[in-house]
């Protein structure tokens, strides 16, 4: 007999633990392909839960037929810290047994998740983080007035929009919300606080810097994240676009149908595929993020400047982006093509930064 026979409940897991057995229900499962010089490999990641809680997992040897809702018994798995939170790892010595016909209640509300791990598969969550700028407005329903506080909440893994119905929130404060409702709007996740949620002040001492994510671990549309990756291909339609200076809408011809007298202004739409060795993601950016990379000053970027035209911008994007390494910071959104990163700032980094990063990741997955 090898290993321990004890089966742990997910709520009792700590890190690091080796050779442990658990039984749980797959709350969410995704597949990711990684290619490097050793070839292409495939791993799964997701969330598994039982009546005591949920935990994210990474599995390097899992049957592709497993799906959301399956109840499984896992032997010989381990836990480790991954970027400040506990994660379950399955490798080639782990054994996964499907328990057909079994169901299991998953306790989701106690799932205290980092913001970067939130996903639509956990509709009620507990999160802790720091409150951003707060906007208040009155809302009337059935003759009853409520104040809505719109803001954001962030931790060291991401940032997400937050609306509180009736419960005041204070800018800069650190709070814990239990029983927040998670939903998706326009491709971004957001959470809301209502009368069933509990809000309490906590001391987290959060120091929020750059939130670097490996592309392979990005699994949900949250904001405020950064990647370091190489631009491996450009979208064909990347280039110069025109906007109406009155309504900011993109216009195809020389004027806006609604504001024919308003002058047009220039913008850039660039989209490209970024690869950091752990995966690829589609990223896009506008002129604010792109002009510096392209070596164009903002005051030169006007329709009056004859040096600027569609061909010039398209060629410049190809020349300055393709095959080079960048740091991109922005928001991840869920679109019909999958997750994509809307970049608000882009800066070039050296290839050394990328190779150091790749070594770090390989060490992590060994
Ligand atoms: Zn217009």
Among 44, 64, 98, the domain boundary falls at 98
Which residue, 170, 201, 232, sits at the end of a domain?
Answer: 201
CA distances (Å), 223 to each of 204, 282, 339, in order?
A: 20, 15, 12
Interval between CA 263 and ligand 1 midpoint (Å): 9
Task: Give every residue of the chain whose pLDDT is below 50, as ranges.
Answer: 1, 110, 361, 363-366
Euclidean distance between CA atoms 327 and 345, whole angstroms: 8
Residue 175 CA to ligand 1 center (angstroms) comes to: 42
Distance 239 CA to ligand 1 centre (A): 20
> In this structure, are 226 and 355 located in the same domain?
yes
Q: How far is the CA of 256 from the centre of ligand 1 (A)?
A: 5
C-alpha span between 112 and 254 (Å, rounded):
52
- Can you give the pTM of this predicted structure? 0.65
Q: State residue 355's pLDDT score.
A: 61
Residues 277 and 179 in one domain: no
Model pLDDT, residue 365: 45
Instruction: Return the pLDDT at 84.
Output: 67
Indicate whether 228 and 347 sit together in one domain. yes
Answer whether residue 206 is part of any domain: no
How many angstroms does the Cα of residue 131 sit away from the middle of ligand 1? Answer: 35
The tally of domains found in the chain comes to 3
**pLDDT on residue 107:** 73
196 with 264, same domain? no
CATH number for the domain including 12? 2.40.50.140
Residues 62 and 119 in one domain: no
The verdict on 285 and 238 lying in the same domain is: yes
Question: So what's the pLDDT on residue 352?
Answer: 65
At residue 366, the pLDDT reads: 38
What per-residue confidence (pLDDT) applies to 337? 75
**Cα(301) to centroid(ligand 1), Å:** 20
Give the C-alpha distances (Å, rounded to integers) separating 176 from 156, 172, 179: 14, 13, 10
Q: Which domain holds residue 66?
A: 7-98
Q: 201, 226, 258 — which closes off a domain?
A: 201
Q: Is the residue at 209 inside a domain?
A: no
Contact partners, residue 356, CB within 8 Å, separation at least 6 = none
Q: Residues within 5 Å of ion ligand 1 by Cβ?
A: 244, 246-247, 256, 258-259
């Amino acid at each position: 007999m090898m290993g321990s026979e004890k089966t742990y409940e997910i709520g009792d897991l700590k890190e690091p633990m080796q050779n442990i057995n658990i039984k749980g229900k797959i709350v969410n499962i995704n597949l990711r392909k990684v290619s490097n010089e050793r070839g292409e490999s495939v791993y799964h990641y997701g969330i598994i839960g039982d009546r005591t809680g949920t935990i994210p997992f990474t599995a390097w040897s899992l049957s592709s037929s497993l799906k959301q809702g399956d109840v499984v018994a896992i032997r010989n798995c381990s836990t480790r810290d991954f970027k400040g939170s506990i994660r379950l790892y399955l490798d080639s010595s782990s054994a996964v047994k499907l328990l057909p016909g079994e169901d299991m209640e998953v306790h989701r509300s106690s799932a205290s998740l980092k913001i970067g791990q939130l996903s639509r598969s956990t509709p009620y969550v507990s999160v802790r983080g720091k409150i951003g700028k707060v906007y208040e407005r009155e809302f009337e329903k059935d003759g009853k007035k409520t104040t809505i506080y719109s803001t954001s909440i962030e931790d060291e893994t991401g940032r997400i929009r937050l609306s509180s119905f009736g419960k005041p929130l204070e800018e800069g404060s650190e709070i814990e919300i239990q029983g927040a409702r998670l939903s998706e709007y326009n491709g971004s996740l957001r959470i809301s606080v209502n009368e069933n949620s509990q809000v309490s002040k906590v001391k987290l001492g959060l120091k929020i810097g750059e939130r670097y994510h490996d592309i392979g671990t990005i699994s949900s549309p949250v904001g405020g994240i950064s990647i370091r990756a190489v631009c491996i291909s450009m979208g064909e339609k990347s280039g110069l676009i025109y906007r109406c200076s009155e309504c900011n809408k993109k216009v195809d011809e020389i004027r806006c149908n609604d504001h024919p007298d308003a002058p047009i202004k220039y913008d850039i739409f660039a989209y490209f595929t970024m690869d950091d060795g752990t995966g690829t993601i589609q990223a896009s950016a506008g002129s604010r993020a792109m002009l510096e990379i392209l070596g164009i000053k903002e005051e030169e970027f006007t329709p009056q400047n004859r040096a600027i035209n569609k061909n010039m911008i398209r060629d410049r994007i190809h020349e300055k982006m393709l095959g080079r390494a960048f740091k991109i910071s922005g928001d991840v959104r869920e679109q019909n093509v999958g997750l994509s990163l809307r970049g608000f700032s882009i800066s070039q980094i050296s290839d050394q930064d990328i190779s150091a990063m790749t070594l770090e990741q390989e060490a992590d997955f060994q």
